[in-house]
Amino acid sequence: MTELEAVDPQERFLELFKTEKYRQRISQLAVSGKSSLIVDFEDILTFDHSLANALLEHPSEYLKYADNAAQTQLEIEAREYAERQRITVRIVKLLESTPLRKLGAAHIGKLVMIEGIVVRSTPVRPMVVRAAFKCKGCEEITYVEQTGQFLRAPIVCSNPACRRKGSFEFLQEESTFVDSQDLRVQERPEDLPPGQLPRTLHVKLVGSEIVDVARPGDHVSIVGIVRAAAPSLAKAGKLRTFVLHLDANSIDVLGKEPDTALPTPEEEKRIRELAKDPWIQRKIIASIAPSIYGYEHIKEAIMYLLFGGVPKVLPDINVRGELNVLLVGDPGTAKSQLLQYVARIAPRGLYTSGRGTTAAGLTAAVIREKGGGMSLEAGALVLADKGIACIDEIDKMRPEDRVAIHEAMEQHTVSVAKGGIVATLNARTAVLAAANPALGRYEPHRTIAENISLPVTILSRFDIIFVLRDVPNKETDSKMSEHILEIHRKGSSPVEPPITPDLLRKYICYAKTIHPRLTTEAVQRLKDFYLAMRAASETEGSPIAITARQLESLIRIAEARARAALREEVLPEDAEAAINLMKKSLEEVGIDLSSYKFDIDLIMTGKPKSLRDKLQVVIALITEMERETGLVEKMALLNRLETEYKLSRNEAERLLAQLQREGTIYEPRDGYLKKT
């Protein structure tokens, strides 16, 4: 007889539950009215190694022993509560998690821990565990314990005098029900081997305390027993290949904040030491994608994007804290590399490319279930909640799909109203997007809206827009070529990052717990800049240089800079840095090329004020001539524009062509124009 059989497992569990830690937990259950006893696997392991191994190998049997032992101990601690409540032991934190793609035949019937993202969850439904049936002959009630998918009736009546095999009536009031829910868990993007599709696993939750804990988009750790079920075909019977699912014993949401695994005391000390450096922002910028040469101001913008501002939740509105950054650039300027780097370094980052992205894939898809109901499946922006979504080639997306990200970028929610499901999901995501110029290369003498085939509704939602241009320059080209050749020669980055990627990720997580407030000096700096820019627009005919949207962007950038230095207050220098970065962005994309003045309408409406004024003149003249002659002769119109308004023939023709493209005017017959 082995030692394991000699010792009663139930007695061993009882001994564990008699320790101070678990006696406290069990007596607490009676106070809080709960029925789940959380047991750390490490405690079982340190208490009895062979018991822990037996629990992993034969969980169905050993969890029953644990439940009975916990119930016995509860009777000692709180007898009255024990009489009306059954206790369930829930095991958490196994020593290691099993990757989803490694689950196979060897794991059937074993206790495992898996980690992943919840992509779909069904509504909570009651499931019968002990069914009561009434015999239609003698009205005797028979109870049947239920397992499996289908409701099982008794074979014969339990009354010895009756013993009928006939029909039974199910009694709902006498039966025992328990809440159940099904989840679909998918591998985390960071665990995915290159070129592989993410695997998913069906998880069954039973028990009122573990259902509805996790929602789509949550990172979870689930401990449960691996089961295999054979799908059955109508009329043909069950198939030989089985499908794996997990009967969950416990579920743990790994924090709404990505990777809330707090840094160890040593790491925290190092982070605090780093933050004392007055040039900490420079160090972080130098640690961002060190293998990519140059782009200081773009890496600075990425730093602010990673740290983010402070979201404000007011009674009437919510103001987002996350920044949105757009990089527009010539081919070969390392845009995709920057995006992929950010997706890797961000505590919760997702990378997707515009060409293979649909609206449902970005937001949420409504899926029809086998049972005929509908359920929601979370998309990329919902999965990247409280993280960063990197969208490459955003200009290549279909217009109808691109509309889906409008709401997520400004309101930070995703609203769905399909198939009878009306829901609003959180998508508090910072967006880093990259786009290629429409004509292959960025044309400096064309406006930003003409350069990218993106609607202004999206352009105006980006806090910072930068243009990466590939301009030949002897000095820069020489340094760049040396940098690239050195990477290929050594096979590693020629520049050592001052902060390692692992520590940088921990640093970002730690910094996110700080909520910097604006000081009066910083407020004054931002106010002065905003008012100065607005004052320049006050004179008649001047373009509008800046709007309230840019002021909010400035505040977010200043807060992110203070956060990067782990400061509780936003100092004037943070405001100054934010203003400089905003000016750089405006110089690249917000300058009206005909008047060389800042014009925010380039981003907000796609047309500079100077062009809008000219278009206004043309439309006014067409309206005037229409009143006189009905149809407007094109040649007469061009002559008047040249003589009265000093518009050259070429420019006037270009303006008319644009109005025709936009559908403001049309040509009813050759050489004549009319307003639509």
* CATH placement of domain 100-253: 2.40.50.140
The proportion of the chain whose per-residue pLDDT surpasses 70, expressed as a percent, equals 91
Task: Work out the average pLDDT over 414-419.
Answer: 82
**Which of the two residues, 496 and 304, has the higher pLDDT score?**
304
Task: Work out the average pLDDT over 248-274.
Answer: 74
Determine the pLDDT at residue 630.
75
Say yes or no to pLDDT of 106 above 80: yes
pLDDT digits (tens, 9 = 90+) for 185-194: 988 876 777 7
Say yes or no to pLDDT of 660 above 90: no
In CATH, 609-675 is 3.40.50.1820: no
Determine the pLDDT at residue 601.
57
DSSP 195: T
Amino acid at 266: E
Say yes or no to pLDDT of 2 above 60: no
Task: Work out the average pLDDT over 623-649.
Answer: 78
Can you tell me which residue has the tokens 């955003």? 394
Determine the pLDDT at residue 606.
54
Sequence ranges of the domains in the chain:
3-92, 100-253, 515-606, 609-675
Q: How confident is the model at residue 230 (pLDDT cuts 50, 70, 90)?
A: confident
What top-level class would CATH report for the domain 515-606?
mainly alpha
**10 Å Cβ neighbour count for 606?**
18
Say yes or no to pLDDT of 579 above 70: yes
Q: How far apart are the C-alpha atoms of 497 and 284, rounded to whole Å?
A: 9
Phi then psi dihedrals of residue 147, to 5 deg: -135, 170
Can you tell me which residue has the tokens 């992993």? 56
Determine the pLDDT at residue 592.
46
pTM confidence score: 0.69
Say yes or no to pLDDT of 261 above 70: no
pLDDT digits (tens, 9 = 90+) for 369-388: 776 677 777 788 887 878 88
Angle among Cα 553, 290, 335 to the nearest 5 degrees reads 55
Say yes or no to pLDDT of 362 above 50: yes
Task: Work out the average pLDDT over 427-444.
Answer: 83
Say yes or no to pLDDT of 348 above 80: no
pLDDT digits (tens, 9 = 90+) for 509-550: 888 888 999 999 999 999 988 888 777 655 544 455 567 888
pLDDT digits (tens, 9 = 90+) for 459-488: 778 888 888 877 788 888 888 888 888 888
Say yes or no to pLDDT of 598 above 70: no
pLDDT digits (tens, 9 = 90+) for 112-130: 999 998 888 888 889 999 9
Determine the pLDDT at residue 110.
94
Say yes or no to pLDDT of 670 above 70: yes
Please give, one letter per residue, the 3-state secondary structure of 536-589. CCCCCCCCCCCCHHHHHHHHHHHHHHHHHCCCCEECHHHHHHHHHHHHHHHHHH
Say yes or no to pLDDT of 594 above 60: no
Q: How confident is the model at residue 458 (pLDDT cuts 50, 70, 90)?
A: confident
**What is the Cα gyration radius of the chain?**
33
Q: How far apart are the C-alpha atoms of 216 and 377, rounded to whole Å?
A: 7
Identify any residues that bridge with 144 across adjacent strands, giving them in sequence order: 131
Determine the pLDDT at residue 603.
55
Determine the pLDDT at residue 225.
96
Determine the pLDDT at residue 94.
92
* CATH placement of domain 3-92: 3.30.1640.10
Say yes or no to pLDDT of 588 above 80: no
Complete DSSP assignment for 207-269: STTTTTS--TT-EEEEEEEEEEE--EETTTEE-SS-EEEEEEEEEEE--SSTT--PPPHHHHH
Range of 437-441, 504-508, 613-617 with top mean pLDDT: 504-508
Determine the pLDDT at residue 152.
86
C-alpha dihedral, 522 to 523 to 528 to 531, nearest 10°: 150
